[in-house]
Structures are given as structure tokens and as C-alpha cells.
Amino acid sequence: MDRADLLAGQLGLPIRDLRLLAQSLTHTSWLHEHPGEAAGHNERLEFLGDAVINLAVSEALYARHPDDDEGVLSARRAAIVSASGLAALATRIDLGSYLSLGEGEAARVGPQRPSILASAFEALAGALLLDIGWEPTRDWLITTAGPELDAGLEPVLLKSPKSRLQEATQRMTGGRPAYRVIEAVGPDHDKVFRVEVSVGGEVLGMGIGPSRRIAETAAAAEAVEILDARAAELAEAVAQ
């Protein structure tokens, strides 16, 4: 059995077009190394799946959180449909093990890279929409993302690390965190960025990622953890 057959069996959905499913699992790097051996790569399906996921998640959040205002609902959705959020959903179904990557791409980053997993999950959603229709696709997405859709997180925890760090910085100093690219190595199509973030001249976080934005987010997350730990220590000291 090939990868599409195996994934179809795992999903348990009434999939009819295995060729389309296989396309959703095909990275551009694989098609470049094996021209003519697949119907195409998954980027067009990724475009379609992005809209499918956003609608399914929005509809489910609206129904499940009737007391949330538009801002909180948007924050909940952003947490689920972000690259890291979709990568988590892809990992939940072990999607990485079914992907077809070129040898060079697999050697550099592997199928478990969050950005690759997130894109593949979107492509899978697009393929399912075209094959089995909206309602089964929506129901599958809602089931797969059930824990995230039902999570009763505080609104502040739904905000991105960069937003949380900026709010904390404004409270502390009235200013904004400063991000600086330390290095960017690799070819243009596969760069790796290393970014540091400082608050009031003090470096609080360092992040690495395949884009400046992702590296900045990782740096901000580290900085938020440090500031939260300091605030907890201060509160404990005051309590004593």
C-alpha cells in the first residue's frame, strides 16, 4: 500500500480520490526530484484548505463559546490556525510520516518541521473538501481540533507571544520590545534566522526559525517566560 492508501485507512473517511489525497501529501521538493510521478504538488490545495479550516474553526468556536466577544473568538481562532497550531493537529494524526519530501529537503529539515506540517494539514483539508464535501470535512476538522476548540483558556493566554511581550513591556517601561536579527544563514529559499529580543536594553529571549517572524515569535515566547518567572518570584517575596 502507498502512503495515500495508508492515510485513507487511518482517517476512516469515505475517500474516493486517492490521487488527490496523494497530491496533498506531495511537497514541491519531491515533485522537483520526481517530475511526472505525481498529479502535482500540494500548494494549490494548501490555499483552498486554509479557507476551509478557518471557516470550520470559526463556526465551531462561535457555537461553543457563546459568551466570548469578537476579540476573544479571533484570538482563539488564531491560536488554532497558526502554523504551530496546525502543526500540532498534523502531529496528532501523524501526518508527517505520510509526506513525500525531496531527499534534500528531508535531509535539511525533515517531515516534522512545523511549517511543512502546517502546510500539509491545510492541503489535506483542501483535498478532503474536493473529494468528500464540506460537511464531512468540517466534522473531521472539528473532531481533530476538539481539545483546542473546547479549551477554556484565559484570553491573555490566547494572544501571541509577541503581543503578550509588547503588553508587558508597555506596562514596565512604556516602550516596545526591540528585535534584532543576529544571523540569517542558508539559501534564500531555506534560510534559518536567529533573532534576539531585548527590553529596556536587556536581552531576554533568543529564537531560531525558518523566517524572521517565526524566530521573533520564539524569542518573544522565551522573554515572556522569563518575565512571568520574575513576576512570580516578586509576588512570592512580597507575600513573605
Question: Is there a single domain that holds both residue 168 and residue 223?
Answer: yes
User: Which tens digits make up the pLDDT trace of 112-129?
Assistant: 567 788 889 999 999 999
Question: Is there a single domain that holds both residue 61 and residue 117?
Answer: yes
Map grid coordinates 517575596 to a residue.
Answer: 237
What percentage of the chain exceeds 70 in pLDDT? 86
Amino acid at 26: T
pLDDT at 158 over 70: no
Give dist(CA 82, CA 77) in Å, integer: 8
Question: Is there a single domain that holds both residue 151 and residue 233?
Answer: no
Give dist(CA 68, CA 150) in Å, integer: 13
- Per-residue confidence at 90, pLDDT binned at 50, 70, 90? very high
- Per-residue confidence at 32, pLDDT binned at 50, 70, 90? low
Q: Name the least confident of 103-117, 122-136, 172-186.
A: 103-117
Question: Is there a single domain that holds both residue 96 and residue 110?
Answer: yes
pLDDT at 84 over 90: no
What residues contact 191, with CB distance under 8 A and at least 6 apart? 184, 185, 210, 211
Catalytic residue (choose from 46, 105, 122, 131):
122
First-residue to last-residue Cα distance in the chain:
65
Average pLDDT over residues 199-220: 86
Give dist(CA 185, CA 208) in Å, integer: 11
Phi, psi angle pair for 182, to nearest 5°: -80, -45
- Is pTM beyond 0.75 here? no
Q: Which domain holds residue 222?
A: 161-239
Average pLDDT over residues 81-96: 88
Catalytic residue (choose from 46, 50, 131, 196):
50
Between 43 and 143, the more confident residue is: 143
Average pLDDT over residues 84-108: 79
Q: What is the mean pLDDT of the chain?
A: 84
What residues contact 227, with CB distance under 8 A and at least 6 apart? 165, 168, 199, 204
- For residue 203, what is the enclosing H or E element? strand 202-209
Q: Name the least confident of 83-97, 156-170, 174-188.
A: 156-170
- Per-residue confidence at 64, pLDDT binned at 50, 70, 90? very high
**Domain boundary at 156, 175, 208, which?**
156
Active site residue 225: no
222: closest CA among 200, 184, 195, 201?
Answer: 195
* CATH number, domain containing residue 59: 1.10.1520.10
Active site residue 69: no
* CATH number, domain containing residue 222: 3.30.160.20
